[in-house]
Amino acid sequence: MANSPDRTRVRLTAISSRAYEHPADRGALVALRSLRGFDEVFKRLSGLFNERALRLMFLSSSVRVSEQQFPEVHDYVRDAAYVLDLDEVPELYIQQNPRPNAMAIGSSKPFIVMTTGLFDLLDAEEQRFVVGHEVGHILSGHAVYRTMLLALIGLAARVAWIPLGYIGIRAIVAALEEWYRKSELSCDRAGLLAAQDPDAAKRALMKLAGGSRLAEMNTDAFLEQAREYDRGGDARDGLLKLLNLVGQTHPFAVIRLAELDRWISDGSYRRILGGDYPRRDTDTDASIGEEARNAAKSYQESWERTADPLVGTLRDVAGSAASAGGKLFDTVADRWKGAGRRDGGGNGTA
């Protein structure tokens, strides 16, 4: 069990990842977790994810954070694990790479990699936010589903010469990329919950866009950029924004900051720190249909907020999708669980 952090932070005992997950992320995860044995079946079938080999690669070519190496970063990982109540403190490796990046890898024993480009860009509290972001990926169990995305991207490249096959796979990839982007919004929230410093979280996101010269940047002006991006111009700009998302696994920086700021402003962050959050022992009670409806509702609400003229034409579709999608997932879940009972199966994996 992780030790107590070096300064007072609220520990979120037994917090479920559902507390911070974006509705679109949470809906997908609840559905996938309900499919008994899905994670294990996928890992065996893909044959593309060798966690042991990856760990050995980073063990041999990067610096493993510990009490002797990068001890302050080691404290950040320990503290994030303590606050988010992980049973084990994940390993973290510092990799020589000028490109700012961090990632959580693995499912049986996940670990974190942070590049020197990101480490050198951020101050101590900003690093805490990033470490907490990656610990959030671990708590949510995102790695298996991200592996699916990478496998399908590779498959799409191999069958590109088959038009119908490529189009079908690309449609699935596009849906997974959208989920991937929402999972990043989820873990920005997890990073904030771990670090419990909203200003540091916002600074980190601005630095990802504009580099280290923080004195030249302004949070309010950056949020105004987000509003300008949201407004767009006409339907052509709306279409261009959609096209710019093709192949993107992360939301743009202004969107990430605006979404995190909105989550703070609506009181969700403070409610969780006050102890109002779902616990892990209730994860198996989560309704797939309800989460599907929540996901569709979140899209509808975001479309109602936006001034983008293209999105305005899609608002009515979301309303019907919220109801139809929930009913569909309820039906699928009931049939799957019924089949599991006939096969003598137990509860779904969490």
The pLDDT value given to residue 65: 98
Q: What is the per-residue DSSP string for 92-136?
A: EEEE--SS--EEEE-SSS-EEEEEHHHHHHS-HHHHHHHHHHHHH
Question: Does the residue 3 lie in any domain?
Answer: no
Q: Give the integer Cα–Cα distance in Å for 111 and 63.
A: 13
CA pair distance 324, 349, nearest whole angstrom: 25
Whether 134 sits among the annotated catalytic residues: the reply is yes
Cβ 153 vs Cβ 173: under 8 Å: yes
Q: Which residue has the tokens 């044995």?
A: 37
Which pairing describes strands 92-95 and 102-105: parallel, antiparallel, or unpaired? unpaired
Q: How confident is the model at residue 321 (pLDDT cuts 50, 70, 90)?
A: very low
- For residue 273, the model assigns a pLDDT of 97
Distance, CA of 211 to CA of 100 (rounded, Å): 10
Instruction: Say if residue 4's pLDDT is above 50.
Output: no
Q: What are phi and psi of 111, to 5 degrees?
A: -140, 170
| 167: helix, strand or coil | helix
Q: Does position 275 have pLDDT exceeding 60, yes or no?
A: yes
In whole angstroms, what separates CA 129 from the centre of its chain? Answer: 14
Per mean pLDDT, which of 49-53, 184-188, 317-321 is the most reliable? Answer: 184-188
Residues 175-200 pLDDT 10s:
677 778 888 999 999 999 999 999 99
| Active-site entry in 21, 91, 134, 177 | 134
Question: Which residue type sits at 301?
Answer: E
Least confident range from 39-48, 116-125, 261-270: namely 39-48
Tell me the per-residue pLDDT of 277-299, one tens digit each, with 9 for 90 and over: 999 998 877 666 665 566 556 55
Is the pLDDT at 55 greater than 50? The verdict is yes
The reported pLDDT for the residue numbered 80 is 97
Is 152 a residue whose pLDDT tops 70?
no
The mean pLDDT value for 223-245 works out to 72
Which tokens belong to 293? 């409806």
Assigned token pair, 313: 């034409």
The C-alpha atoms of residue 106 and residue 77 are separated, in whole angstroms, by 16
10 belongs to a structural domain = no
The total number of structural domains in the chain stands at 1
Percentage with pLDDT > 90 across the chain: 44
Query: For residue 242, what pLDDT band results from cuts at 50, 70 and 90?
Result: low
pLDDT of residue 212: 92
**Range of the structural domain that residue 296 is part of:** 17-342
In a domain, 96, yes or no: yes
- pLDDT of 120 > 70? The answer is yes
Q: Are 260 and 203 in contact (CB under 8 A)?
A: no
- Is residue 348 within 8 Å of 33, Cβ to Cβ? yes
> Which residues contact residue 54 at a Cβ distance below 8 angstroms, ignoring those fewer than 6 apart?
105, 106
Which residues lie across from 93 on neighbouring strands?
A: 64, 113
Q: Are strands 111-115 and 63-64 parallel, antiparallel or unpaired?
A: unpaired
Q: How many helices (H) and strands (E) does the chain have?
A: 16, 4
In this structure, what token pair is assigned to residue 318?
A: 């979301």
Banded pLDDT at 324 (limits 50, 70, 90)? very low
For residues 80 and 173, which has the higher predicted lDDT (pLDDT)?
A: 80
Most confident of 45-49, 142-146, 190-194, 220-224: 190-194
Query: What tokens were used for 119?
Result: 């480490």
pLDDT of residue 162: 56
Q: Share the mean pLDDT of the chain.
A: 77
Compute the distance between CA of residue 83 and CA of residue 67 in angstroms, rounded to an integer: 19
- Residue 8 resides in a domain: no
Residue 25 inside a domain? The answer is yes
Relative to beta strand 92-95, strand 111-115 is parallel
Residue-level pLDDT at 25: 77
In a domain, 347, yes or no: no
Instruction: State how far the Cα of 4 lies from the Cα of 86, in Å rounded to an integer.
Output: 12
Nearest-CA neighbor of 85 among 25, 204, 5, 199? 5
**4 part of a folded domain:** no
> What is the residue whose two structure tokens read 């980190």?
204
Residue 6 lies in a domain: no
d(CA 45, CA 171): 21
**pLDDT one-digit tens code per residue, 245-260:** 676 777 889 999 999 9
> Which residues are within 8 A (CB) of 29 and not within 5 positions of it... i.e. 6 or more apart?
17, 21, 140, 141, 145
Tens of pLDDT along 204-225? 999 999 999 999 999 999 999 9
